Amino acid sequence: MIRIITVEREFGSGGGVIATKLAARLGWKLWDQLLTDEIARRLECDRQEVAEREERTDPTYYRLLKAFLRGSFEGNVNLPRLRLVDADCVREMVERIVLEIANRGNAVIVGRGSAYYLANREDVLHVFIYGSLDDKVRRLQAAGRSEQDAREWVETVDHDRAAFIKRYFNLEWPARQMFDLMINSGLGDRVAVATILDAAALIAGQSK
C-alpha cells in the first residue's frame, strides 16, 4: 500500500504544480511550502532564511569558518548562542520532519531530499519530474520571468540541487535508480498526475 509519494523535480519542470494537483486528487496533505514553514517554525527563524538554504550546500568559506569556530574554545562556548541557520541544520531538520510525515502517511512531499531519506520504505512511491529546456523556460516565462532569467535559474537551481545530493548522499543527482517513475512534464500535468495515480493503484493491487 502506497502511503507517501515523493516528487523530485528539475527546476521549471512543473513538479510542484503536479504535486499540488496530485495531493488534491488523493485528498492527501501537500508538503512543499508547508514543509518550509514547519522548518522555520521549529528553528525559530524567518521562512526566507530556510528557503534560501533548502536543497543547497553552504559555501566552502562558511564551512571552513564553522569548522574553525567549533575547533576553538571560544567557538565551542559561543556557537550555540549564535543560532546559526545554515544548510546543515536545515537538512537535519528536514530529515527529522520527513520521517515524521512518512510515519503518519497520506502525504505528497516535494523535493528537499525526501526521496533519499525514505529510500528504504516500501510504502513510498518515488517520482521524478523532468522536462526539456524549452518547456521549462516556457513554464518559468509564464510565471513572469524573462527568458534570460529563466534559462539562468534552470541551470543554477539544478546545479545547487546536484551539489546538495552529492554532499549529503554521495549520489549523482538525480540518481535515477532511486525513483520508481520518471515523467516528462511536457506530456502535460493531467497526464503526469494520471500516470502517478495509475502506478500507485497498480502497486496497491499487487500488494493485496
Alpha helices in 52-86 (DSSP H): 60-71, 73-82
What does pTM read for this prediction?
A: 0.87
Q: What CATH number corresponds to the domain at position 155? A: 3.40.50.300
Contact predicate 181/125, CB 8 Å:
yes
pLDDT tens by residue, 132-190: 999 999 999 999 999 999 999 999 999 999 999 999 999 999 999 999 999 999 999 99
Q: Quote the domain boundaries for residue 189.
A: 4-206
What tens digit of pLDDT does each residue of 141-157 get?
999 999 999 999 999 99
The span from the CA of 171 to the CA of 162, in Å, is: 9
Count up the domains in the chain and report the number.
1
